[in-house]
Structure 1
Amino acid sequence: MLRRTLVRTGAAFAGSVWLGSPKPRTAAGPYGPLGEPDAEGLALPEAFSGRVVARSGRKVAGLTWHAVPSGGACFPDGDGWIYVSNSGIPLLGGVSALRFDAEGQVRDAYRILSGTNLNRAGGATPWHTWLSCEEITRGRVFECDPYGSRAARPRLAMGRFTHEAAAFDPDRQVVYLTEDEPDGCFYRFRPLDWGDLTEGALEVLTTSGAWRPVPSPAALTSATRHQVEDAAHFDRGADCHYLGGVCYFTTRGDGRLWAYDAETGRLETPSTLAAAAAAGELFVAGDMEINLVSPSGEISPFLRLSGYESAELTGPAFSPDGRRLYFSTLYGRSGTPEAGDGHTFEVTGPFAQAADR
């Protein structure tokens, strides 16, 4: 099993992904071989540079950056942008935001959600808000304002379960949701009004391929995954991403990548990543590496972190102009959450996707 995070043109989905039989790794990809690690242990191709923009427990623009930085996303902000990051710690989770100016300097940092529990994954909405999901029993989904103007609000109609990630299908105006349980389900939420997640219908995918309503999304007496008899079950659903009529999601327990074709209703397990790579640059983040997958399925190294024992990579996202890649390590060089020393990185360079914008 290979633990992987996939990143493409500013979108990401994370989890354990079965790669099937990809072609062998090459020594150098289109950006060239990796150089020597810098002072932070970050090795990059020659034309790229990296830096740490935030560290857990330390001040950044007046804000103490949170521990266990997890899922994240970027949002446009005038001539700059905002990067939001979940905090995957119990009871004090929540979300913090970094505001960058046009030159890429941090000019503000602030909380957009506080006092929640184990916020690991989530998803960016088409209307530029961030869904932060609690990965606990009867966990909630919170809709957060990356710009810090409006208070975060729970979206209880989206169900109370061990939430992992959310992906938006604007074509059908639904939100796909994964569940981090050994017998978790794959859900979709149909808002009453697209753009407003306050009310709507929560449905679960069944073994027949049909979607059926979850009778009690609040799960007061029975878990949502146990309320529909023929619900399809998946081994610890992880992050998901909608692209071109297909919702891709991963299951951490068995290391699989799933593809739900929203047009045909078919659910498949692609054996390689080449099909996704064909749509553009595809970056695959492993334990301490980010690799680039070519349209033909070849894998080449893009960056490597050294000296970060057991520090899983999380929250990858591109800035809106495609020139900067952000990601975090759950923990720092110690490899333990108790140390509270997670790092949030920025990588800058001539990404091919930036030239296309």
Structure 2
Amino acid sequence: MERRSLLRAAVLGGTSAALGGTLWRGAAYAAPAQPGTGPYGPLGSPDANGVRLPAGFTSRVIARSGQRVGTTSYTWHNAPDGGACYADGTGWIYVSNSEINPSGGASAVKFSSTGAITGAYRILSGTRQNCAGGKTPWNTWLSCEEVSLGYVYETDPWGTNAAVQRAAMGRFKHEAAAADPVRRVIYLTEDETNGRFYRFVPTTWGNLSSGKLQVMVAGSATSGSFTWTDIPDPDGSPTATRSQVSGSKSFNGGEGCHYANDTVWFTTKGDNRVWQLNLLDNTYELAYDDSLVNGTAPLTGVDNITGTSSGDLFVAEDGGTMEICVITPDDVVASFLRVDGQSASEITGPAFSPDGTRLYFSSQRGTSGSSSGGITYEVTGPFRS
């Protein structure tokens, strides 16, 4: 995989700017990441919030389902899931989905330059099981319905503009989305045991009201070349989108998706894999596979994924040992944090503040194991840049 020369990119804030280096890509594929010593060292004892962190890092709880957020009058939603951060003057906003059905939707928390909570509000209502999604380069949040024939909704993190249903992006069991400003497309995952990997090509970049939905076509191997083919009927009825194109590649439970510097990664929880698509030469390979590690796999139940300007990937666990793990550009996978005492939950929504010093995430069901027990956290510390 070897991302050290591929990924020195400024990915924070949803942009990607190469900082030098030459592409290593050749005919051979590198082995998936292996366990090793991570860049942040071992996890310490649980802190007051039950979070195990490396030395130099601290956590705080910013919201709990069913309770008011900070000193605001807004009640935080149940089952917090996928999320993203947006610059807001000298402060920022964290957006979070609600994976309940019905009445899922999404909410936002606003922070000052010091990290103080200054507001919280609803940005999407009346939708179903909003799981993950993705940030656009024009600073909207794509909230995805993880239900059969689900939609993508484009929402305003500031809560000023009404959310818009984007039917052209296809109707299927949506999971995550990732924007590629170079090819001007949006990548989409599908949470089915035989799901597909898609991209949406808007007619006009920055306007998702019309365009072409395409599916990845490739062989059955874990590495090779791929192409894209148009989906004839994006509304998925009467034939599901995943069944419309012969030769489209099947993936076992598509989850998180992240783009940076001509590469897109996505996870499949059915087989605990992180896939890597190399967009300059249209090849794909495994960035991580828990069945191929030497010894005990530190990362299982792979789910949401995000990245930093250092090239590190942060992958959240749905189950597993309730960790967020880091995969480095040197192809080392290691635990970054662990939440204790919440084995009936899952880690969701990892996203970094615009300056890269704070990581937000949620435990979807918290200590109770119920969707009404969700907890949203912030971790602050010396993240690599």
1:175 corresponds in structure 2 to 186
- Residue in 2 that maps onto 1:105: 116
- Alpha-carbon distance, 1:99 to partner: 0.3
Which ranges in structure 2 are unaligned for 5 or more consecutive residues? Answer: 1-9, 15-30, 220-225, 291-306
Query: Which amino acid is 1:281 matched to?
Result: D
Deviation at 1:256, TM superposition (A): 2.0
Please list every run of 5 or more consecutive structure 1 residues that lacks an aligned counterpart in the other structure: 1-7, 13-19
Q: Do the aligned residues in 1 keep the contact of 2:36 with 2:332 (CA within 8 Å)?
A: yes
Tell me whether 69-78 or 216-225 shows the greater mean CA deviation. 216-225
What do you get for the CA RMSD once the two structures are aligned?
2.5
Please give the alpha-carbon distance, in whole angstroms, between the structure 2 residues aligned to 1:79 and 1:277: 20
8 A Cα contact 1:167 1:177, kept in partner: yes
Give the alignment partner of residue 342 of structure 2, picking from 282, 305, 308: 308
Q: Does 1:343 align with 2:378?
A: no
| Amino acid paired to 1:65 | W
Q: 1:283 maps to what in 2?
A: 314
Q: 1:45 pairs with 46, 51, 54, which one?
A: 54
| Segment of structure 1 superposing worse, 80-89 or 40-49 | 40-49
The CA deviation at 1:278 is 10
| Structure 1 contact 309–334 (Cα < 8 Å) conserved | no
When the two structures are aligned, how many residues end up with a matched partner? Answer: 334
Q: 1:331: which partner in 2? A: 365
Which of 222, 227, 230 is the equivalent residue of 2:247?
230
Alignment partners' CA distance in 1, 2:188 and 2:35: 33
What is the alpha-carbon distance in structure 1 between the residues aligned to residue 139 and residue 147 of structure 2?
25
In structure 1, distance between residues paired with 2:249 and 2:311: 31
Alignment TM-score, normalising by the size of structure 2:
0.80
The alpha-carbon deviation at position 335 of structure 1 amounts to 2.0
Provide the C-alpha distance between the structure 1 equivalents of 2:193 and 2:314, rounded to a whole number of angstroms: 27
The answer to whether the 8 Å contact 2:252/2:270 transfers is yes
Q: Quick one: structure 1 residues 119 and 11, their matched pair in 2 at CA, closer, same or farther if it must change by over 3 Å?
A: farther
Residue 234 of structure 2 corresponds to which residue in structure 1? 217
* Correspondent of 1:247 among 255, 259, 264: 264
Contact 2:101-2:129 within 8 A present in 1 as well? yes
Q: How far apart, in 1, do the equivalents of 2:382 and 2:341 lie?
A: 26
Shift of 1:79: 0.4
Which segment drifts farther, 56-65 or 219-228? 219-228
Give the equivalent residue in structure 2 for 1:70: 81
Q: 1:56 aligns with which of 59, 62, 65?
A: 65
> Taking structure 1 as the reference length, what is the TM-score of the superposition?
0.86
CA offset digits 1:281-314 (Å, max 9, x no partner)? 3434344223444443444443222111222111
Specify the SS of the correspondent of 1:352. Answer: coil
SS at structure 2 position matched to 1:59: coil
Percent identity for Structure 1 against Structure 2: 51
1:31–1:239: structure 2 CA closer, same or farther, 3 Å change rule? closer
Partners in 2 of 1:23 and 1:235 — Cα distance? 21
Q: Which amino acid aligns with 2:63?
A: A
CA deviations over 1:155-180 (Å, ceiling 9, x no partner): 00000111111111111111111111
Alignment of 1:139-178 (within 5 A): 139-178=150-189
Residue of structure 1 in register with 2:21 after alignment: none
Q: What is the Cα deviation at residue 110 of structure 1?
A: 0.3
What amino acid is aligned across from residue 314 of structure 1 in structure 2? Answer: T
Compute the displacement of 1:239 (Å).
Answer: 1.4
